[in-house]
Amino acid sequence: MKLKLIFSYDGSAFLGSATQPHGKSVQDALQKALAHLGIFSKILMASRTDKGVHASFMVACVECGDHFKDLIYLKNQLNKFSHPYIHIKHLKFMPSDFEVRFDVKSREYRYIFYHGNFNPFVSRYVHFYPKIDINKANEILKYFFGEHDFKYFCKSGSDVKSTVRKVFKSHAYSYKNMTIFHFRANGFLRGQIRLIVASVLKVLEGKMTKEQLIEQLKTIKKYNHFLAPPNGLYLSKITY
């Protein structure tokens, strides 16, 4: 039977989401939790996140025996072995033809800036940054809306057939003492959001012009190579 897991995790506790030889990834930790309950099939995840990036809504699938009837009990048992850095929110049996990665219609991310005094107890979960002009930020973020070739907004070595992605939402809003950048697209490349965020900040800081940003978006010339810190980034929704 195909079991879908919806879960969240603290990315600061892992060296990325996808399984790695050192075994210190989200997938490895979740695989170990499932193994405690006799589920040994390989987990397939809907998306990948870099080291230090968090998820409030990640989806994965795994094959399990048909004797697992009580999903509430199974969820509670899984959380005993996956806490404190991974939390299973919901379990659901899916049709055999469900594709956890290829059936995805959109993915959403949020990047959180905190404008208060530095606090070491939350430094892994927000990017401390001076107050942002929301109107100016949205003027810049609107350039990313629509379909573009993001070849100059992804990490080198990305193993993809196409670097074209369609962005459905790209805007900033305020919440309490924070500014949040919200992105939704049909898919994202490795490092894409962190490169976009860093480029927007460079324009706001006067270190890069809007014209240069547009040139980079049109793959004419790359002006920014730096990524925003991973700790402010959250995978927040996956839609099927």
Q: How far apart are CA 87 and CA 48, in angstroms?
A: 17
Whether residue 66 lies in the annotated active site? no
Rg (CA), the chain: 19
Give CA separation, 107 vs 47, 142, 165, 229, in Å. 8, 18, 11, 20
Q: How far apart are CA 146 and CA 219, in angstroms?
A: 15
Q: Which residues pair with 114 in a beta bridge?
A: 128, 178
Q: How far apart are CA 24 and CA 217, in angstroms?
A: 35
Among candidate residues 10, 50, 70, 97, the one labeled active-site is 50
Q: Which amino acid is at 66?
A: D
Work out the angle between the directed axes of helices 71-82 and 26-35 (0-180°, nearest 10).
120
Distance of alpha carbon 56 from the chain centroid: 9
Segments of 22-137 assigned E as strands: 44-45, 54-63, 86-94, 106-114, 127-128
Our CA dihedral for 221, 223, 228, 234, rounded to 10 degrees, sits at -20
**Residues designated as active site:** 50
